[in-house]
Amino acid sequence: MTGFPYHFQHQDGTPYWLFGDTQWEAFADDSAQGLDARSVSNYFTLRAAQGYNYVHSEIIGLVRSSQIDAKGREQPAFHDYRAETINPAYFDEVDARLRQANSLGITLGLILMEPYFTPAASIDPAFRYDNRCWLSFPDEAARLRYARYVVARYSAFNVLFLLTLEWGPAAKPMPRNECIAMFNRLGTEIQNHDPHQRLRGIHDDNGTLPNNFYGPSSGWNTLGQYCQHSGSDYGYPWCDGCTPPNDANCRGRFATPENRQTLHDELKEVRMNRNRNRPVINGEYAYYLRRGVPAHPMVVNRGHSHDQPTFRKAAWVLTMAGTYIVPGFWRTYYGGWAGRGTPFRPDDPEALPAVKDLQTLHTFFTQVENGSRRQWWKLVPHDDVVSSAPNPADGSPGHSYCLADPGQSYIVYTENTKSTRLYLSESLNTTYRVTQFDPRTGKRTLLDASVDNGTNFKLLSPDTEDWVYEAQKN
């Protein structure tokens, strides 16, 4: 965004608040899981009606890389990857689904492919797993040709290009330097052949915030980070490898206020201290109520996903770090998959309360109290102006976060406390309208805030759940 590089705008200059969702395989079909053109159309229609304006998805999926046509015939993306025999019918259907999403106001984050093969020994034969990736092609020249094909075909659409998912920096089948060099060449190829210069990025491994694609060799990258990060102190967010793998061992892994503080601080560090001057996105930090690992099928096995409050609070602390979020929901994030024990269900009623919480967050940050547009792009993390008292019940630390347009507006998010101080440095003659906002209901209440020395506000919460406060200059 012009003048505010950590935010987005449309080509006409209209500010754009990214409200995102995950559906990794929106262009594939899997009849056994209810994934097809009709259900994907229903998914896009529902998400657009809920206010979403961004979905990221793979053009060619790792698990599913084909469709079923009207005559019941399988249509893979490529008939032969080694021979580079592309299938136009597959991409015609990609066109149709992408066109519908765009018509509904949804920008697609198009992931060209996943990076590496999964070793055959790691693939459960009970589950479909096509295992298509960048290494399916015979060589570098073929990979570059596919990149140019995607850009030529889709740059005119409302899209963002992501080279791949989980490129690293964890150990991969290729040495790390070779991985980085390969994706830098692919990114540069897209940059050099994109007439519309769409945004471009690359998605990191879980639990990492690497610096590998932000130097001179990665001038193609227009995003400040596209991570999947649950916080470095939050152990076993996936729970796939629990020992022993039983329900009792996997329960009780709810994120704590301290975990959320770490999550916030680590994303804020990227936003504030790494001089990226580009938007920062946490693209895969939570999948609401995700379960389905065979060893313990009813246990939620993804961090920040165990219940509605923990899912909501993670979304708020990340937003308070000045970053954008793209979480997901169990029955939709993978388009349904036997490997996660669920069919594709866009209208899953179990997800609706959490969707509502994200809608409430989105509305709060895009509209001020009177309904006019908020200038959210002027808000910058300023946690230094807030402090919270401990939880009076157990003495554990209170937590508070602040986004501010200094001298004009201060937004404070608190949890695990009943008393928070907001310290301002304006003139004693400056007055503020202070309101309390309930992130569960969206209700706003005017406060007669306690003030010391004119600029020290004491914000009292009715309980130790999460609450939002706004001090707006009169």
Domain ranges of the chain: 8-366, 382-473
Helices of type H across 303-343: 308-319
Q: Does domain 382-473 have CATH number 2.60.40.1180?
A: yes
What are the tens digits of pLDDT across the range 290-311? 987 777 777 888 889 999 999 9
Query: For residue 254, what pLDDT is reported?
Result: 87
CA distance 7 to 323: 9
What are the DSSP calls for 81-96, one per residue?
TTTTEE-HHHHHHHHH
Pick the range with the lowest mean pLDDT from 22-36, 77-91, 439-453: 439-453
Query: Omega before 244 cis (within 30°)?
Result: yes
Query: For residue 427, what pLDDT is reported?
Result: 66
Listed in order, strand segments (DSSP E) in 50-104 are 54-58, 66-68, 74-76, 78-80, 85-86
C-alpha distances in Å from residue 67, one per residue of 26, 59, 436: 11, 12, 50
Question: Is residue 236 predicted with pLDDT exceeding 80?
Answer: no
DSSP assigned state of 274: S
CATH of domain 8-366: 3.20.20.80
Question: Is residue 207 predicted with pLDDT exceeding 90?
Answer: no
Query: For residue 45, what pLDDT is reported?
Result: 99
Select from 18, 28, 81 the least CA-distant residue to 55: 18
Q: How confident is the model at residue 330 (pLDDT cuts 50, 70, 90)?
A: very high
CA distance 27 to 98: 9
- Give percent of the chain with pLDDT exceeding 90: 84
pTM of the full predicted structure?
0.96
Question: Is residue 242 predicted with pLDDT exceeding 70?
Answer: no
For residues 423-429, give the mean pLDDT.
Answer: 77
What are the DSSP calls for 113-173, one per residue?
--SSPPPGGGS-TTS------GGGSSSHHHHHHHHHHHHHHHTTSSEEEE--S---SS--S
Query: For residue 449, what pLDDT is reported?
Result: 64
Pick the range with the lowest mean pLDDT from 102-111, 227-236, 254-263, 401-410: 227-236
CA distance 377 to 375: 5
- Give percent of the chain with pLDDT exceeding 70: 95
Question: Which tokens in the block code for residue 443?
Answer: 């209700």
Q: How confident is the model at residue 251 (pLDDT cuts 50, 70, 90)?
A: low
